[in-house]
Amino acid sequence: MPKRENMAEVLVERPREGVALVRINRPEVKNALNMAVRRLLAEEFRRLGENAEVRCVVLTGNDAAFAAGADIKEMADAGAIEMMLRGTHRLWQAIADCPKPVIAAVNGYALGGGCELAMHADIIVAGESARFGQPEVRVGIMPGAGGTQRLTRAVGKFQAMKMVLTGRPVSAAEALRMGLVSEVTPDAQVVETALEMAETIAAMPPLAVMQIKEVLLAGQDASLGAALMLERKALQLLYDSRDQKEGMRAFIEKRRAKFVGK
């Protein structure tokens, strides 16, 4: 049986070797992101990021919703100072800073904060019925956790403007064409597809995986010259790892490599 830790609104499982499955568990409100869930997600991603036994993380909701957005009831009467003091950006940052690859497995709604949460992942696997959107403008506000910035970097100015200014969601097929998701699969296979992908990544040399993620993300906001230098330095660093020696010897000897993360 997989190891499982139950918390009221976030469930954490270890369904496969090297893989953690984090599940948002507020089905009664379509997994709306209240402050409690945000804090629990931040705590879990910090803990999983430091756990050497975890090599890849899958983040999901349920069949009806990945996360239908922020919990409006917690926000409706808030003022500017209160919103600032909540420090939700620090909770989001804990997910963005996770050194392990993160795969979002999205069924149903990924709207507002839910869409932004998915965009904190490195790979997004979506079910055919999934819907992605940034509808904040419809309630008098705007995206505040990456909906104007990560979205633009993913799909470009013109598609992002259309989504955030109209508030209209897009289908999984549209999201794939726009570059917002990595893969679309039948709804019933979303989590399994994400877990299989996570298992593949978990079998790779952990140091190389971590360096790939770090350099790819850092390079997005750097000049091409600076980004290429980051890439070269990371590659050179990996030649001092045991996994590099093991991987290349295994290739030459025509056997399966055993990577230990050193």
Q: Which two tokens stand for residue 241?
A: 């790892």
Q: Is 226 found in the same domain as 102?
A: no
Going by pLDDT thresholds of 50, 70 and 90, the confidence category of residue 6 is: very low
pTM for this prediction? 0.92
Q: Which two tokens stand for residue 188?
A: 């019933």
Q: Is 176 found in the same domain as 116?
A: yes
Give catalytic residues, as residue numbers: 70, 113, 116, 136
Q: Is 259 inside a domain boundary?
A: no
Per-residue model confidence (pLDDT) at position 153: 94
Side chain identity at residue 154, one-letter code: A
Per-residue model confidence (pLDDT) at position 7: 52
Per-residue model confidence (pLDDT) at position 74: 82
Q: Is 133 found in the same domain as 225?
A: no
Identify the residue whose tokens are 């790779």. 204
Q: Tens digits of per-residue pLDDT, 172-206?
A: 999 999 999 999 999 999 999 999 999 999 999 99
Q: Is 223 inside a domain boundary?
A: yes
Q: State the residue range of the domain holding 20.
A: 3-202
CA 169 to chain centre: 19
Side chain identity at residue 188, one-letter code: A
Residues 6+ apart with CB under 8 A from 101: 55, 56, 57, 122, 123, 198, 201, 209, 213
Q: Is 171 inside a domain boundary?
A: yes
Residues 6+ apart with CB under 8 A from 105: 58, 59, 60, 66, 125, 190, 191, 193, 194, 195
Q: Is the pLDDT of residue 253 over 70?
A: yes
